């Protein structure tokens, strides 16, 4: 695997006070794919800063509405299907884990990116079942890592 063929990216696992994970339904797919927020790295931006920026752009959740839990500083890879017009073979992601401490609903219509049309809070197992097939292995890796060390925080 040539790692330069993978776009550097950050995923954001947002956990609410009930231990459920935020997943959002994409606006740009016919089959209503769900995923956790994620996005690319701008210039010399580090992954944590990019994670908070992407979270705000995609969901309107600000850094101040979250508590930092962890940062998984190890790339997780997924391949994009060959029929895609994407110039990359896939993406390599590091993961920011935060707890949502904000109040009320998340207004995706006010999000800068309009990448998502709906959201819901689910168990980690449900997030794995909902995600697009190429990303499933990463979500399983997240579950293996965080369902053990965060068992009092995350519902798996």
Q: Is residue 156 in some structural domain?
A: no
Q: Is residue 19 in some structural domain?
A: yes
Q: Which residues contact 4 (CB under 8 A, 6 or more apart)?
A: none
Give 74-117 pLDDT, tens digit per residue: 999 999 887 666 778 889 999 999 999 998 889 999 999 888 99
Instruction: Name the more confident of 16 and 113.
Output: 16
Q: Which residues contact 116 (CB under 8 A, 6 or more apart)?
A: 24, 25, 26, 27, 58, 59, 108
Domain count, the chain: 1
Q: What is the pTM of this model?
A: 0.91
Q: Which domain holds residue 32?
A: 3-149
CATH code at position 60:
3.90.79.10
Instruction: Return d(Cα 42, Cα 7) in angstroms, integer.
Output: 11
Q: Is residue 81 in some structural domain?
A: yes
Give 65-75 pLDDT, tens digit per residue: 999 999 999 99
Predicted confidence at residue 105, as pLDDT, reads 87
């Amino acid at each position: 695997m040539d790692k330069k063929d993978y776009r550097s990216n950050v995923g954001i696992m947002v956990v609410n006070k009930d231990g459920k994970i935020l997943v959002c339904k994409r606006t740009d797919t016919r089959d209503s794919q769900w995923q956790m927020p994620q996005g690319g790295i701008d210039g010399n931006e580090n992954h944590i800063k990019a994670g908070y920026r992407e979270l705000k752009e995609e969901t309107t959740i600000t850094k101040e509405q979250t508590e930092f839990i962890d940062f998984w500083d190890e790339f997780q890879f997924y391949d994009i299907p060959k029929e895609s017009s994407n110039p990359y073979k896939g993406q390599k992601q590091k993961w920011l884990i935060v707890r949502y401490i904000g109040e009320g609903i998340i207004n995706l219509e006010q999000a800068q990116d309009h990448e998502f049309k709906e959201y819901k809070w689910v168990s980690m197992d449900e997030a794995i079942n909902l995600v697009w097939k190429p990303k499933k292995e990463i979500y399983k890796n997240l579950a293996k890592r965080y369902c053990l060390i965060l068992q009092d925080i995350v519902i798996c």
